[in-house]
Amino acid sequence: MSGVLIIGSGHAGCSTAINLRRSGYEDKITMFSIEDEYPYHRPPLSKKFFKGDSLKKDILIKSESFYSDNNIDLKTNTEITQVNIKEKYITTYTGDRYEFSCLVFATGSSSRVFPAATYPGVDIYYLRNIADVNCINNLLKNSKKPLLIGGGYIGLELAASMQEMGLSVSIIEQEDRLLKRVTAPVMSKFYKDLHESRGVKIFCDQSVETINKIDHKYEVLTNNGISISADLIIAGIGAIPNSKLAEDSGIKCKNGIIVDQYCRTNVPYVFAAGDCANAFNDLYGYAMRVESVPSANAHAKVIASSIIGNEVTNRELPWFWSDQYEFKLQMAGLSDEYDEIYIHGKIEDNSFMACYGKEGSLIAVDSVNMPKIFNNYKKALSNSMRLSMDLVKDPNFDPSSIFSASY
């Protein structure tokens, strides 16, 4: 019996296998990983694992024995080179062939590449997996002044980790503020001030013009004439979905693999989950590609339900978290169309929440060190509750009362 084949062993792929077994699926499950590693959690790579505060065994999604114990055939260090959708089989780089009844693309995403070819002799590094962490940490043995290109989550988390490791860190961000795509100016300012207070040098509204290599060091010149010295350059400028394998096999793709609310592609027995999936979200009524662990896990549950014939739809509220120094940023909902913002708490106390409103109703929240209140609002947004901004701004309003009353 051919069973389910899962291409990819990140959060989406591993969670799909786990949920299939939890749901009572008894047929064969085969999961392929291009890495020579057991499935592991990715968020610690830029934080505790990067700093050496946790070991490889600490970041495994499941124990090494879990897969054999649950009859999940995990094939590591295996690249899939061809997918034949019509005849239902895949081919590996060694020519091995595996048949399937259902196929799941959980191929993730790859780092958007900085055009290093423009600067001969310059090495640019990225952080996506354990091998990248090991490579960068090895380079840091002889580096003291790393430069991060990109002021998004990866850049800021790495900056915090490396600053705590005693390094002199600089960040170049081409936008006029940090995290511009995902948060409001007040949050951008908070994190810029935070990092600068810890010694990180931040250059916003700057792009790399030239990079000169002198011995083993770099002089980076920006478009505005600023000169930054560095001995290691790491780029974190976004990610692109790994959808080429699916597209080459005839699966429809646009900004990822296009799937419906059941995480199905245009072929009924082929699914996609995680960073590679541009998935229709029933909560919002349109498709979106969300790069987050919660989204990957949500897709996996939907796929497992679809395969066993107990269909549920994808209606996961987009949410995310980022740990930088002793601060926890938590974000829930989509804030890009907000028309008002209210700050709950005090920024100067390092514990506050940005509440985003649109047409009088709460649509998203960003929280700094307010996990309990954040979870109440996240639950309300997940359940499509329409909380008025007037209520949110009421100083007598207790967010913990949300589910004991009707709003």
Span 315-332, pLDDT tens digits: 999 999 999 999 999 999
Which has the closest alpha carbon to 272: 259, 290, 285? 259
Answer yes or no: CATH 3.40.50.360 is held by domain 4-110+240-307. Answer: no
Strand partners, 142: none
- Residue 6: beta bridge partners? 31, 104
Beta strands 29-32 and 97-99, pairing class: unpaired
Burial label for 384, CB within 10 Å (0-12, 13-18, 19+), is exposed
133 vs 111: CA distance, rounded Å: 14
Question: From residue 206, how far is each of 123, 125, 227, 271 by CA, in Å?
Answer: 20, 19, 11, 40
- d(CA 381, CA 391) in angstroms, rounded, equals 14
pLDDT of 1 above 60: no
* CA-CA-CA-CA dihedral for 106, 111, 117, 119, to nearest 10: -170
Instruction: State the pLDDT confidence band at 235, using cuts at 50, 70 and 90.
Output: very high
Q: What is the pLDDT of residue 399?
A: 86
**Quick one: pLDDT band at residue 405, thresholds 50, 70, 90?**
low
CA proximity to 329, closest of 355, 353, 346? 353
Half-sphere exposure of 47 (CA within 13 A, CB side): 18
pLDDT of residue 215: 86
Taking only the tens place, the pLDDT of each residue in 267-304 is 999 999 999 999 999 999 999 999 999 999 999 999 99
What does the domain layout of the chain look like in residue ranges?
Answer: 4-110+240-307, 113-235, 326-404
Q: How far apart are CA 323 and CA 148, in angstroms?
A: 17
Q: Give the separation between CA 84 and CA 233, rounded to whole angstroms.
A: 40
Asked if 50 and 161 touch (Cβ cutoff 8 Å), the reply is yes
pLDDT, residue 401, reads 84
Report DSSP letters for 155-212, one per residue: HHHHHHHHHHTT---EEEESSSSTTTTTS-HHHHHHHHHHHHHTT-EEEES--EEEEE
CATH topology classification for 326-404: Enolase-like; domain 1 (3.30.390)
| Number of C-beta neighbours around residue 220 at 10 A | 23
Model confidence pLDDT, tens digit, residues 111-148: 999 987 678 889 999 999 999 999 999 999 999 999 99
> How high is the mean pLDDT of the chain?
95
Looking at residue 121, its pLDDT comes to 85
To the question of domain 113-235 being in CATH 3.40.50.261, the answer is: no
Could you check whether 4-110+240-307 and 326-404 share the same CATH topology? no
Cα-based torsion angle of the residue sequence 203, 208, 212, 218 in order, rounded to the nearest 10 degrees: 40
pLDDT of residue 182: 92
